[in-house]
Structure 1
Amino acid sequence: MPNAPKTPKHGVRVPEELWQAAKRKAGDRGETLTEVIIRALTRYVRDYDD
C-alpha cells in the first residue's frame, strides 16, 4: 500500500474537552495532534528513564 502509515495506530481515552483544546492549539501552531503527542511521550520517556 503506497499510503500506508509507518507507525501503528493506538487508541487512548482522553476527555473530549481536553482533546478538542489540544487539537485547536496544535492547529494554531501548525502542528498535528499526533506530533504533539509523540513529542510529549518522547519527553516523558526521556525524563523518567530509570
Structure 2
Amino acid sequence: MTDGKRGRPKSGETPRKTVRVPDAVWDEAKEKAEAEGKTVSDVVNDCLRRYLRKK
C-alpha cells in the first residue's frame, strides 16, 4: 500500500499515514500523552506494537 508519494521518505522521517479518529478521543489522547511527555504518534505506535505482539 502506498501513500501516493514517489521516492523514499526524507532521512530520519517515517512515512505519514492517515487514520480517522473522533475529535473527543483525539483531544483526550493528546492531553494524556502530553502529560506523559509523549506525542499521540508515540501512543499510536506503542498501541500498534502491542496489538501486533498479540497471538
Q: Do the structures match in fold with TM over 0.5? A: yes
Which residue number corresponds to residue 41 of structure 2?
34
Pairing 1:1-50 to 2, within 5 Å after superposition: 5-48=12-55
Cα drift, residue 6 of structure 1: 2.0
After the TM superposition, list the runs of 4 or more consecutive aligned residues in structure 1 that deviate by more than 3 angstroms: none
Q: Secondary structure at the match of 1:40?
A: helix
Quote how far apart the aligned CAs of 1:5 are: 4.9
Structure 1: any 5+ residue segments left out of the alignment? none
Return the offset for 1:4.
Answer: 5.4
RMSD across aligned C-alpha pairs, in angstroms?
Answer: 1.6
Partners of 1:22 and 1:43 lie apart in 2 by: 17
Aligned positions, number: 46
One-letter code of the match for 2:51?
Y
Structure with greater proportional helix content:
1
SS in 2 for 1:9: coil
Q: Percent identity?
A: 39
